[in-house]
Structure 1
């Protein structure tokens, strides 16, 4: 878990202004050290990713962010052919700087576009926390017998935080792990494992919430500090009275295989 407990006695405006100005590029959450804690899934995705990469001959990491997770799996584990995609330009630039020296090719590709690779090009496709999972495209670029291995953001993630800012809302079901398993099967993949865990997330000050919402944009899709200043002030006062704001994360370890021809 991330460390926590920075003072909550700073003024609301100081906390919010600091968080609104802080950079959010990449997929590193180190800015939250001392301000938030996130319980980790039991399986250790990055370690498992390294093992899968070491056994592959050609791999693709989809929506790699700033490339931190892929690089952290260990360049010694990289297969002879390794590519990654990322659609957000600041992240793509960051991933290029990080991954190219390690021998991985970064391709800038929007998350809602077809993957820019030939059919059956990879025996392993991976992703950590993709914003969008396109199972038909994953199935297309997988070689027969190839594997998709990923950690997804599961359904009902951060509903407590979303509801605090938005009020009552219809919780989407598309990221529920049972729904994703059905989507993978519909794309012709065999689901090997689909493990979901619900995990605790705590924010110790309102600045941590502001920074998190700027980075994890789907939590409150129309978030700006000005638009939600009133509710952010309410949250600041709530944390001052009752302590850290608690929300719930959901993570799914997902593995599926493309059947080999009989």
Structure 2
């Protein structure tokens, strides 16, 4: 077999810039980057939770890919399934993907109050929320309802972030810590049933994968453009070519929390959207 032909920095850079970034489909990275997956298998586990739910809400659903996967594998689907998303291109993508499954996609900013009635859902889920709004999650859960989610943990992919930005302050390194999130969830009135954490290996095999990743996960290097960081990108390209994959690590934690039962008999209305539905 002939040796694999090396591609130029300019060609790889152009490819990384050209790939669309909508949604949370990471299939383009196949052969370009790898990431270990948490042992708990979030999407499959979510399918099991959906099979036992009556009214489900998926927060910050991205392009709807994870929810679509889980709904497709659930033993039965909830009578009501709603998803929220704050970025317009993802709203349209999620709506097109999830509408055939009877899921309502609601355009809702990530930092705003949820546009739903109190105690409207027995399951709230989220995969990699930017910032979980614990008081709102607790408000829309019915007593006895569950919040089931996979969060990004502290210092996730920081090897790559600090390659571009330099050492980050300790307070930024401590962000997203599971102990802090546990305390915030409990302060909002939720009980933690299970909280697991794992540190996982990531490898980037070429600079196109790095560029696409930083364009897609925009909060990693917030001011990232190829123009602003061309020198660092070129140096990293040369390092990968000489030494092999750039290695980083992600951190993930699995939240399983419950809203305590209050013993109140009346059940409020299920859902009252206040934002546009797509």
Relative to the length of structure 1, the TM-score reads 0.95
Q: Over residues 52-105 of structure 1, what are the superposed CA-to-partner deviations in whole Å (9 max), with x where a residue is unaligned?
A: 011011010000000010010134532001100001011000000011111110
The aligned length equals 257
Q: d(CA) in 2 for partners of 1:126 and 1:154?
A: 17
Paired residue secondary structure (2:6) = coil
In the TM superposition, residue 174 of structure 1 has moved relative to its aligned partner by 2.5
Find out whether 1:67 has 2:78 as its counterpart: no
Decide whether the 8 Å contact of 2:50 with 2:56 is kept in 1: yes
Q: Deviations over 1:153-203 (max 9, x none)?
A: 111101100010111112332301111111100111001111010000000
Paired residues for 1:173-192 under 5 Å? 173-192=174-193
37, 41, 47: which one pairs with 1:50? Answer: 47
CA contact (8 A) 1:38 1:200 kept: yes
- Find the counterpart in structure 2 of residue 219 from structure 1: 220
Q: For residues 116-164 of structure 1, what are the alpha-carbon distances to aligned partners after superposition, in whole Å with 9 as ceiling and x for unaligned?
A: 1001000100001111210110000000111100001111101100010
- Tell me how far 1:8 sits from its aligned partner: 7.5
**Residue equivalent to 1:247:** 248
| SS at 2:137 equivalent | helix
Q: Is the 8 A contact 1:122 1:141 kept in 2?
A: yes
Q: Partner of 2:53: helix, strand, or coil?
A: coil
How many angstroms does 1:46 deviate by? Answer: 0.8
> Runs of 4+ in structure 1 displaced over 4 angstroms?
none
- Cα distance in 2 between the residues matched to 1:202 and 1:250: 14
Q: Where does residue 85 of structure 1 map in the other structure?
A: 84
**2: distance between equivalents of 1:143 and 1:156?**
33
How well do the aligned residues superpose, as a CA RMSD in angstroms? 1.3
**Normalising to structure 2: TM-score of the pair?**
0.90
3-state DSSP class of the match of 1:233? helix
For residues 232 and 261 of structure 1, what CA distance do their matches in structure 2 show?
Answer: 55
CA distance in 2: counterparts of 1:74 and 1:119, whole angstroms: 24
Say whether the 8 Å CA contact 2:50–2:71 is kept in structure 1.
Answer: no
Q: Check whether the contact 1:38–1:202 (CA below 8 A) recurs between aligned residues.
A: yes
Query: Could you tell me how far apart the structure 2 residues matched to 1:55 and 1:29 are?
Result: 28
Does residue 1:153 correspond to 2:175, yes or no? no
Q: Output the CA distance in 2 between the equivalents of 1:200 and 1:243.
A: 15
Q: CA deviation at 1:36?
A: 0.4
Residue aligned with 1:48, SS: helix
Matched residue of 2:192: which SS? strand
Aligned to 2:209: 208
Q: Residue 3 of structure 1 corresponds to which residue in structure 2?
A: none
Give SS of 1:74's match: helix
